[in-house]
Amino acid sequence: MSDLHAEQATNVVLEIDDAKVAKVIGRIEEARALIDAGETDAAMALCKDILKTPGVPLNTAVKVGLLIRDLGQAEIAELVFVNAYEKIRSVMDRLDDPERALLPAAEALADLGRYDEAEVLCRKAIDAAPNNLTVAVGYAAFLVHRDRLEEALAITERYCDLTDSKFNGAIHFAMIFDHLNCDEAARACLERAKKHCKSKTQRAKLDFFLASKGMKKTAEDQHGMAVELFDGFAENYDTQLEKLENNGPSMVLTALEDLNLPKTRSRRILDAGCGTGLCAGFLRPYAKELHGIDLSVKMLEISRKKGGYDFLARTDLSEIVTYPEGKFDMIVCADVLVYFGPLTTVLRNFSSILKPGGWLLLTVEFENNPAVTTGFKLYPSGRHKHTNDYLQKTLAEAGFPKPKMLKHARLRNELGAPIFGTLVAVQKPALSFV
């Protein structure tokens, strides 16, 4: 244990490297998954390995300590906590960067149960940078956890008054409050967002959130606004998914390898909702002809520049008349159906253009809340989650048999937490009259 203590003192730092934090958070979620699966020895080994990582951020190390404590290793956890607190205390007066020093130290102190000291650092951070979104979110979340919701709302109002992007600020805080299960505060932020909603793109984004809270939408032209919304995503799409550690394409790739399909370049393949072409590279060895389709012209333009597809076309997955002509041997649909609630029309469209014996591989976000009886639910992220039962029922209605593969894995990170997805691989019957 003394060796572990020494390694902690050497490696734990206050400064945050975003890429390193994302990777460490991913490993922490792996440890949590191992704990949930009852694999405590593997979870403990992973926690110790995380703590030995050079430059592991201080607040992240404390979270690992909390996991170690949950694993029943109180003595080791206490070493982590004592080391963390001593390090913070030794530099408390010299911390001045609001986002990369004060806020992480405050988070660590809060996790250690030292709330008064944590709030001192939160106040120092917000006073130094009242228009910094990360700082405002961090302090608001701290206040929510301390059951001081009115003060948290005051922080959001102050931030939105100071920023030029009042709409985006209000929307972001609506997401944060919803994530923290503060429904009333989330609704208040959405009402504030309405006052600053100016463009079609903003109305599209707002309507996603309003619908998720059961509130009245602002407009009817959902198709037109969705086009503008996704066009707006195009330029930064790949970068944003990297930050979220997007795993959707990787889930499809893993499924293809597990199915052991021959890489004979013999198939006519459709990448449905291809976006900026994240799946093109690993689909190519299977394809003699690779088609990419998407609703967003700007997304398609980026895919064209990358050069991964033989053919590209603007397509609305809900409208069969917009699809390319002919039948396909395989359809891949990764990270797309999350933007649909009912999947009946899209899956029937897929079935109608898939050859007998052809494969459909798709991902959705996993809905495991038994209270969701409709089979799907829209969340404030603007995306839907779907249940296993709904997927299998709707696939059957579209003419597909029981999936050959249905499994769950982390799809992406959102607000520091993992979002789990469902991968489905299903083969259309070789004898089909659909």
- pLDDT tens-digit series, residues 209-225: 676 666 655 554 445 55
pLDDT at 5: 43
Cα gap 187→263, rounded to integer Å: 51
Among 90, 112, 129, which residue terminates a domain?
Answer: 129
pLDDT greater than 80 at residue 200:
no
pLDDT at 17: 60
Among 91, 112, 129, which residue terminates a domain?
Answer: 129
pLDDT at 434: 44
Report residue 432 CA to chain centroid gap: 37
262 and 125, same structural domain? no
Cα gap 7→163, rounded to integer Å: 42
pLDDT at 206: 77
Max mean pLDDT among 21-30, 192-201, 235-244, 308-317 falls in 308-317
More confident residue, 131 or 218: 131
Unique residue bearing structure tokens 């999350």? 338
CATH code of the domain covering residue 318: 3.40.50.150
413 and 268, same structural domain? yes
pLDDT at 20: 65
Burial annotation 294-323 (CB, 10 A radius, 16+ → b, else e): bbbebbbebbeeeebbeebeebbbeeeeeb
Q: What is the pLDDT of residues 344-382, one digit of tens each?
A: 999 999 999 999 999 999 999 999 888 888 899 887 666
List 290's β-bridge partners, or say none: 269
Inside any domain, residue 351 = yes
pLDDT at 254: 83
Residues whose CB is less than 8 angstroms from the CB of residue 354 and which lie 6 or more positions away in sequence, other chains included: 327, 328, 329, 330, 331, 360, 428
Inside any domain, residue 178 = no
What is residue 136's three-state secondary structure? helix
pLDDT at 333: 95
416 and 284, same structural domain? yes
258 and 113, same structural domain? no
Q: What is the pLDDT of residues 228-272, one digit of tens each?
A: 555 554 444 444 444 434 455 778 888 898 898 989 999 999 999
pLDDT greater than 70 at residue 45:
yes
More confident residue, 240 or 44: 44
pLDDT greater than 90 at residue 94:
no
DSSP 52: T
Alpha-carbon distances of 283 from 253, 263, 307, rounded to whole Å: 8, 9, 13
CB 403 within 8 A of CB 392: yes
CATH code of the domain covering residue 16: 1.25.40
Question: What's the rounded mean pLDDT across residues 99-121?
Answer: 92
Lowest mean pLDDT, pick from 11-20, 204-213, 246-255: 11-20
pLDDT greater than 60 at residue 13:
no
Task: Please provide the average confidence, as pLDDT, over all residues in the chain.
Answer: 82
Among 98, 129, 160, which residue terminates a domain?
Answer: 129
Inside any domain, residue 287 = yes
271 and 412, same structural domain? yes
pLDDT at 229: 53
Please, how many CA atoms are within 13 Å of residue 18, restricted to the half-sphere of its CB?
8
Report residue 381 CA to chain centroid gap: 9
Structurally, how many domains does the chain consist of?
2
Inside any domain, residue 162 = no
* Angle, CA of 123, 127 and 131, to the nearest 5°: 115
Cα gap 66→77, rounded to integer Å: 7
pLDDT at 11: 44
284 and 421, same structural domain? yes
pLDDT at 320: 93
Q: What is the pLDDT of residues 376-430, one digit of tens each?
A: 988 766 678 999 999 999 999 999 999 999 988 766 655 555 678 899 999 999 7
261 and 115, same structural domain? no
DSSP 216: P
H helices within 146-234, ranges in order? 149-162, 166-179, 183-195, 200-212, 222-233
Closest residue by Cα to residue 294 from 282, 283, 286, 278? 278
Residue 86 structural domain = 1-129
422 and 276, same structural domain? yes
Inside any domain, residue 149 = no
What is residue 104's three-state secondary structure? helix
pLDDT at 35: 85
Inside any domain, residue 191 = no
Query: E strand or H helix at 47, and its extent?
Result: helix 40-51
pLDDT at 10: 37
Query: What spatial distance separates the first Cα and last Cα of the chain, rounded to whole Å?
Result: 65
pLDDT at 393: 96
Q: What are phi and psi of 10, to 5 degrees?
A: -80, -40
Query: E strand or H helix at 396, and its extent?
Result: helix 388-397
Inside any domain, residue 223 = no
Inside any domain, residue 146 = no
Alpha-carbon distances of 414 from 91, 129, 392, 420, rounded to whole Å: 31, 24, 27, 10
Unique residue bearing structure tokens 């593969």? 405
The model scores a pTM over 0.75: no
